[in-house]
Amino acid sequence: MPVNTDYEGRRFELRESYEVSAESIRAFARATKATHPAHFDAEVARVLGYADVIAPTTFPVVLAQRSESAYISDPDAGIDFSRVVHGEEKFSYTRPVVAGDRLRAATTVESIRGAGGHSMITSRTAITEEASGAAVVDVTSTIVVRGDS
Amino acid sequence: MAAPHLSELNVGDVVATETIEFSRADLVRYAGASGDFNPIHWNERFAREVGLDGVIAHGMLTMAAAVTVVSTWLGDPGRIIDYGTRFTKPVPVDDAASGSPESPTQNLLVTATVGVLDAEASTARIDLAATAGEAKVLGRAQVVVRLDA
């Protein structure tokens, strides 16, 4: 089944909020070889002006991919995950992610277009503060679904 | 660890260069920390069945590891306000033939260069070059950072 272009413009919201813990920040930093002490030591982060340890730059991908998966795994979206290749990724910050944040994520399917037998899908996940709705970071992702060859 | 000042920088300056090692164990660790358990990143048989030459790193691990050179140089990871890249080539990470599964089997060479200086916005664009072996694995990898004048 080809990728369903009717999904362009649709929005998928992560049902639960995500509580950012210092431990999840530390685990992500270790796993990505991010050695800056502001990811590990709350005192260092406070000296830099943050309330607690701050997340590495790409940490919000954890929420973004959860939110995107509601779309990608929707059977009617027509995305064969075994044919998916990651094309592009971008993080645009309003403010850093800090331990203790309670965040929400909502993914909008921005565009679905064909390119040489493949489909390119760009989605944007807005990550916001649960309490205020204020923007924290936008994550834009482009995946390529390889066509039959 | 004072952050560099905008006035100290010139377009073309190389501000950081680093070699980052990857082992198969690193891919498993990233899968755990990120929640991305796609078997192409840890299971040889599955990776070959979907047409790859073997297990490859998560694109998001490469992206995350590459930007750590900028966070270290900045002295404050929270000064990164924007980070985007394209994934141009896969990064194969073989299982170590002998000894510890933590033994590195791939090197990512990352070089960070000043691309654009914007005094009005108090930002600099740092361009990342990332290669594994001969292959350029990230394309248009750009990091926008907030700096004092």
Structure tokens at A66: 């959860």
> Span A24-51, mean pLDDT?
98
Task: Residue A137: name the closest of A83, A62, A39, A35 by CA.
Answer: A62
Residue A56 pLDDT > 70: yes
Q: Phi first, then psi: what are they for A101, rounded to 5°? A: -65, 140
pLDDT for the residue numbered A146:
87
pTM: 0.96
Is B138 within 8 Å of B58 (Cβ atoms)?
no
DSSP symbols for B60-105: HHHHHHHHHHHHHHHS-GGGEEEEEEEE-S--B-PPPSSS-TTS--
pLDDT for the residue numbered B1:
55
State the complex-level ipTM.
0.96
Looking at the complex, does the CB of residue B61 fall below 8 Å from at least one CB of chain A? yes
3-state SS of B119-143 is: CCCCEEEEEEEEEECCEECEEEEEE
Cβ contacts (< 8 Å) between A66 and chain B: which residues?
A: 35
> Span A53-58, mean pLDDT?
98
Residue A85 pLDDT > 80: yes
Percentage, residues of chain A above pLDDT 90:
90
- The CA distance from B133 to B92, in Å, is 10
Report residue A1's pLDDT band, with 50, 70 and 90 as the boundaries: low
Residue A116, classed as helix, strand or coil, is coil
pLDDT for the residue numbered A149:
53
DSSP symbols for B24-67: HHHHHHHHHHH----GGGT-HHHHHHTT-SS-B--HHHHHHHHH
Residue A26 pLDDT > 90: yes
Among A58, A141, A149, the strongest candidate for a mutation testing the B interface, having the largest count of B CBs within 10 A, is: A58
Nearest-Cα residue of chain B relative to residue A83: B50
Is B69 within 8 Å of B112 (Cβ atoms)?
yes
pLDDT for the residue numbered B85:
98
Structure tokens at A68: 């995107």
Q: Residue B67: which of A38, A48, A58 has the nearest Cβ?
A: A58
pLDDT for the residue numbered A115:
81
Residue A88 pLDDT > 90: yes
- The CA distance from B114 to B25, in Å, is 33
- The CA distance from A122 to A100, in Å, is 30
Looking at the complex, does the CB of residue A73 fall below 8 Å from at least one CB of chain B? no
Q: In order along chain B (149 residues), what is the average pLDDT of each group of 10 residues? A: 88 98 98 95 95 96 98 97 98 95 97 97 98 96 96
Residue A87 pLDDT > 90: yes
Q: Phi first, then psi: what are they for A20, rounded to 5°? A: -85, 120
> Span A53-68, mean pLDDT?
97
Q: In the A/B pair of chains, how many CB contacts fall below 8 A?
A: 104
Cβ contacts (< 8 Å) between A38 and chain B: which residues?
A: 76-78
Q: pLDDT for A32-41, tens place per residue? A: 999 999 999 9
Q: Can you state the angle between helices B59-74 and B24-34, rounded to 10 degrees?
A: 90
Q: Which residue has the tokens 């973004």?
A: A64
Note whether A58 contacts B82, CB cutoff 8 Å.
no
